[in-house]
Structure 1
């Protein structure tokens, strides 16, 4: 069975949001001949310029039948008023497509089309606050690489589109084909780290900046008390100066950085499913399982047990 896939683009789309999934499906189609037929579409068709200025030839939007719709993201989504035709097309075609997916800020188009109301979804972490304000009916999970809610899939920024495509390929053709596709792409079939955007978020200002060494030191001692005084002492700074400098460098307070590191470590172990929840809480520095549960609810919208069940499914 050949599955017809439409990749929707628009002026100033992010080129890798489109070409990453296209490459993954193309490679999977070579491994499993006849599995996919790919088409790039856009309002009006013709040559569509990406945000990099590179143009891709697209077919005009039509009423053809598609198995899967994939919506690219990019800075073009900042002017949603210009994308009305694309949104209306998505709303019509999604009712007949087997599944619909978005990469990065392509989630805005799905949201405008009403396809995410009442559903879990994600987008690039830098757009999360704006997205949550605009679409309060959507249960945003801003830390995730991708989220599946039934037959609607959303993913984080740029390279996460490849993670999304590999998951769609695995859903269609099984793990062996997805693994071979990932090997050809020279990427992980399943990105490590609990499939979380947290590491990327913390690395903004932290991976190579003045506090990079301190971040590594913190990760190795999550079970220990990591108050601002101890962190400042490790950084050889006064607590007040350290708190100001750390926040300016990383974009988060020291306490929030510690919590995020603990959440990242705890979520990986929770979803792995091997250790008791209370042991995870102790080892990751939350100490009290109830304290960890509250942090999970606040950040992920679900308690640890629910995430463990979802990971098993």
Structure 2
């Protein structure tokens, strides 16, 4: 059985959003010859350049017996106004496809076509606030690498498209082909879709880097009681002003930022170290291993023990 894949791009699309999934499908076809037939579509067809200059020779947005439609990202908010024909095409083509997917801000096209209304979805972390305001009918889960809601799949930024595609391959051809494809790509075997994107704004200390030094201090003191009052003292601000400024700057509350930093430190320790789980929980500031387990389930979709087993495998 050959599955026809329509990869939809537009001028100035993000190259890796399309090239990553195309490569993954191509490699999977080496292990299961004839599994996929890939077509790259774009408004008008012809040579379609990416934002990097390099591009693809594309076909026009044609009707076809598509198994899977995958929409690339890029400056999709600008492209929405310039390439409304993609949205119109999706409205016609999506109902006949077995599944519809997007990478990064390609989710905007799916949203404009009404394909995400009432569904769970994700997109690149930098777009989530705007996306949530623009599409209030969509249940946005901003931290997810990818989400499957029925026949509609969405993913976060750029390399998350490879995670998404490996999941699609596993869904089609089984875990062994997906594992061998991941090995050829030299990536981890498919990361669970529930794994957090982890906000880069938090990593940088905010949009302007205002809290960069504070974030460094937090990372060095994860085992301490990082209350709002303690963080505000370190930032030389009142607790109320600090909480308001920090949330505005980073897009998340101080408490959630602390949890994210602890989660990242704990995940690294769990996956690469040998310390007992309860010791990891104590070292990174969770204290109670059950509290850390619940945080892992929320952020990564798996408990610490499962991530450790997967890393060792």
Range of TM-score over shorter length: 0.7 to 0.9
Residues 12 and 76, structure 1, Cα contact 8 Å, conserved in 2:
no
Match of 2:113 in 1: 113
Give 3-state SS (helix, strand or coil) of 1:95's partner.
helix
1:195-226 CA distance string (max 9 Å, x none): 1112645323489x5456434334x52xx521
**Gap runs ≥5 in structure 1:** 269-274, 297-302
- Tell whether the 8 Å contact from 2:219 to 2:261 is kept in structure 1 after alignment: no
Aligned pair 1:85/2:88, yes or no? no
> In structure 2, what is the Cα distance between the partners aligned to 1:267 and 1:113?
37
Distance in 2, Cα, partners of 1:239 & 1:286:
30
Whole-Å Cα distance in 2 between the matches of residues 253 and 25 of structure 1?
39
Partner of 2:130: 130
**What's the secondary structure of 2:59's corresponding residue?**
strand
Q: Could you tell me how far apart the structure 1 residues matched to 2:90 and 2:144 are?
A: 24
Which one of the candidate residues 280, 286, 295 is aligned to 1:284?
286
Aligned-partner Cα distance in 2 for 1:255–1:179: 37
Q: Which residue of 2 aligns with 1:149?
A: 149
- Name the counterpart of 2:217: 214
Note if contact 1:194-1:267 (Cα within 8 Å) is conserved in structure 2.
no
CA–CA separation in structure 1 for the residues paired with 2:194 and 2:114: 29
Partner residue, 2:183? 183
Gap runs ≥5 in structure 2: 269-276, 307-313
CA contact (8 A) 1:125 1:197 kept: yes
Q: CA deviation at 1:149?
A: 0.1
2:96 match: secondary structure: coil
Residue number in structure 2 paired with 1:271:
none
Residues 74-103 of structure 1: CA distance to partner in whole angstroms, max 9, x if unpaired? 014324121211111111111111000000
- Equivalent residues, number: 281
Match of 1:73 in 2: 73
Q: Distance in 2 between matches of 1:25 and 1:108?
A: 23
**Any conservation in 1 of the 2:122–2:143 contact (CA below 8 Å)?**
yes
**Alignment RMSD:** 3.8
8 Å Cα contact 2:71/2:106 also seen in 1: yes
* Distance of 2:289 and 2:32 partners within structure 1: 49
Which 4+ runs in 1 deviate beyond 4 A?
228-233, 237-244, 262-268, 285-289
Asked whether 1:30 is paired with 2:30, we answer yes
Compared CA separation, residues 140 and 194, structure 1 to 2 (3 A) = closer
CA shift, 1:15, in A, is: 0.6
TM-score for both structures, normalised by structure 2: 0.76
- Tell me how far apart the structure 1 counterparts of residues 236 and 192 of structure 2 sit (CA, whole Å): 36
